């Protein structure tokens, strides 16, 4: 059985890690390279870097950041933000990223998923989906969660799997930064209909929230940000708790 993964997320703006609530009210959390090295030594299984203000001018900055990070860690890391073509993916992978995260661009051009999967292998392609729930409806948002699309989350998850995505990073916008727990109901349903790994994102506040996501929703990985950034919860403490509660994690 594959080990369940704990993944710190670094939302990067101009090389600095930031964090907000529901994607707004951003505050600085420190240097991306320093935090990456810290999480590596603390026992993180992977890292996710998201350039939340990705523009053409900042693309070079992100490439340099990926190179710097790859020098200080020995765990897989995923990079996303502003990736719109095969050449973008190739540059990031060549700079040291192990995977890329695709989001806004694939809504307009879903074939990028299959092209990327064929070119670099599905294991290198993560589809990030920002989902907001209203009543019984789950809608997909893009462009740093500023724009609602016509897509519904569940059919979109199925579509990206069919197109060749290696895994899905699902962020519940309603839960992001609230520390009220992951969206268990949605994750539970998705894990029952998808065959590719699911990374749960948005809402982690306690060790029990991680346990719930692994135990009830059967996700493959849990992602969190501020909880780790501000040392409210240590990765080794979290993993020991999960291990003691019969969750298969790498200690």
Active site residues: 11, 130
Give the containing element (helix H, strand E) for 10.
Answer: strand 5-13
* CB atoms near residue 105 (< 10 Å): 16
CA–CA distance, 8 with 24 (Å, rounded to integer):
19
Residue 246, C-beta contacts closer than 8 angstroms, at least 6 positions apart: none
For 103, what's the count of Cα atoms within 13 Å in the CB-facing half-sphere? 26
In the DSSP assignment, the letter for residue 159 is: H
Task: Look at phi and psi of residue 200 and say left if phi exceeds 0, alpha if psi is from -120 to 50, else beta.
Answer: beta
Q: Does the CA dihedral 60-113-171-124 come out positive or negative? A: negative
Q: Strands, E, within 60-204: which ranges?
A: 77-80, 99-102, 125-134, 137-142, 147-152, 167-172, 198-201
CA–CA distance, 153 with 73 (Å, rounded to integer):
33
Contact 169, 132 (CB under 8 A): no
């Amino acid at each position: 059985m594959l080990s369940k993964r704990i993944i710190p997320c670094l939302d990067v703006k101009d090389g600095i890690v930031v964090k907000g609530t529901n994607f707004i009210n951003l505050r600085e959390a420190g240097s991306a390279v320093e935090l990456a090295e810290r999480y590596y030594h603390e026992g993180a299984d992977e890292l996710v870097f998201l350039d939340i203000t990705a523009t053409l001018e900042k693309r070079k900055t992100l490439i340099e950041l990926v190179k710097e990070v790859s020098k200080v860690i020995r765990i897989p890391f995923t990079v996303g933000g502003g990736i719109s073509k095969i050449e973008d993916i190739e540059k990031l992978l060549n700079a040291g990223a192990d995977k890329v995260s695709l989001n806004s661009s694939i809504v307009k051009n879903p074939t990028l998923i299959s092209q990327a999967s064929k070119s670099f292998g599905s294991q290198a392609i993560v589809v990030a989906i920002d989902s907001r729930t209203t009543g019984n409806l789950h809608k997909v948002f893009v462009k740093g969660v500023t724009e609602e699309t016509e897509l519904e989350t569940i059919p979109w998850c199925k579509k990206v799997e069919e197109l060749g995505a290696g895994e899905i990073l699902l962020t519940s916008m309603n839960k992001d930064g609230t520390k009220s727990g992951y969206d268990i109901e949605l994750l539970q349903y998705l894990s029952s209909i998808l065959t590719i790994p699911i990374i749960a994102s948005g809402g982690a506040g306690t060790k029990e929230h991680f346990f719930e996501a692994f135990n009830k929703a059967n996700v493959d990985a849990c992602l969190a940000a501020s909880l780790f950034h501000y040392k409210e919860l240590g990765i080794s403490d979290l993993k020991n708790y999960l291990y003691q509660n019969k969750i298969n994690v790498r200690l």
